[in-house]
Amino acid sequence: MKTGLILEGGAMRGLFTAGIIDVMMERGIDFDGVIGVSAGAAFGCNFKSRQPGRVIRYNKRFCRDPRYCGWRSLIKTGDLFGGEFCYHELPDRLDLFDRAAYDANPLPFYAVCTDVATGEPVVHRCDDAEESLEWLRASASMPLVSRIVTIDGRGYLDGGISDSVPLRTFERMGYEKNVVVLTQPADYIKKPNRMMPLFRWRLKAYPRVVAALADRHWAYNQTLAYVRRREAAGAAFVIRPKAALPIGHMCHDAEKLEAVYQIGRETVEACLPALKSFMAGQRADVLGK
């Protein structure tokens, strides 16, 4: 029975996920495949390159650097998170992404993006580090604050637009037992996006993406209902924060980043016995019940 790890996005809430995957690497917990969305892909790739500690390290180091994230980057480059800096200069020179280790690791790692022409999710298997970085960038390219990323002639935006928590997707791909990392608490309900007028204006050339954004709250809440059903059936093990994480989409405070990262570490440490039982094939108690 194939085991999968599913990593939701959430911009800087992804530091919660980073804490979780670091503990998993330190404790030798592995999977038959990993799929990430948005920040879940951009940070989760370090699980395949086997670099615990890297995500929190570079986020704390560069959180105040205008090249990394901020309105200055958005105005200057068209990306809130600077595309050239985040996906080239940083991993190539400033805090090295271990491309050799990533390429040598046979673990299948997938990134979810949204095709702007169809509004549908595209799941890309990221085997080669060099080729994968643009897919990771596309997966994390939030609408309004990111440029569309073009790969092989097609345009992509954030995977969370079309498949925020790809549990059904991974099950269809043959992963029958899945650990799902969510970055919102159990009582979270997504509401309609108040930015829809701006989305309609900015993305008027892509009506199917606009439609997906308009329906996203409904689709997301339906997906979470499905996650809960699979959780209750013992087919999914869900790790989520107990309360809303104290961080926004942007954060220039290294202490806040560290705090969210530590919440992730503490959350997974608290459920390790149940997680190990689940991975071993036994029915595990659901975290937080």
Lowest mean pLDDT among 38-42, 61-65, 285-289: 285-289
Among all chains, which residue has been given the structure tokens 């105040």?
Answer: 64
* Residue pLDDT, tens place only, 208-266: 999 999 999 999 999 999 999 999 999 999 999 999 999 999 999 999 999 999 999 99
Structural domain of residue 159, as residue ranges? 2-61+103-280
Q: Are 16 and 264 in contact (CB under 8 A)?
A: yes
* Residue pLDDT, tens place only, 100-127: 999 999 999 999 999 999 999 999 999 9
User: Which residues fall within 8 angstroms of residue 106, CB to CB, at 6 or more apart?
Assistant: none
For residue 76, is it within any domain?
A: no
Among all chains, which residue has been given the structure tokens 């809303």?
Answer: 244
For residue 97, is it within any domain?
A: no
For residue 167, is it within any domain?
A: yes
Catalytic residues: 38, 158
For residue 158, is it within any domain?
A: yes
**Strand ranges (E), 2-56:** 2-7, 33-37
Given this model, what pLDDT does residue 284 score?
41
* Residue pLDDT, tens place only, 55-96: 999 999 999 999 999 999 999 999 999 999 999 999 999 999
For residue 288, is it within any domain?
A: no
Domain count, the chain: 1
Given this model, what pLDDT does residue 77 score?
92
Q: Are 155 and 149 in contact (CB under 8 A)?
A: yes
C-beta neighbour count of 76 within 10 angstroms: 12
Q: Are 239 and 179 in contact (CB under 8 A)?
A: yes
- Whole-structure pTM value: 0.95
Calculated CA dihedral for residues 203, 204, 208, 211, nearest 10 degrees: 80
3-state SS assignment for residue 230? helix
For residue 38, is it within any domain?
A: yes
Across residues 175-188, what is the average pLDDT?
A: 98
Among all chains, which residue has been given the structure tokens 């998993």?
Answer: 24
For residue 287, is it within any domain?
A: no
d(CA 86, CA 92): 10
For residue 263, is it within any domain?
A: yes
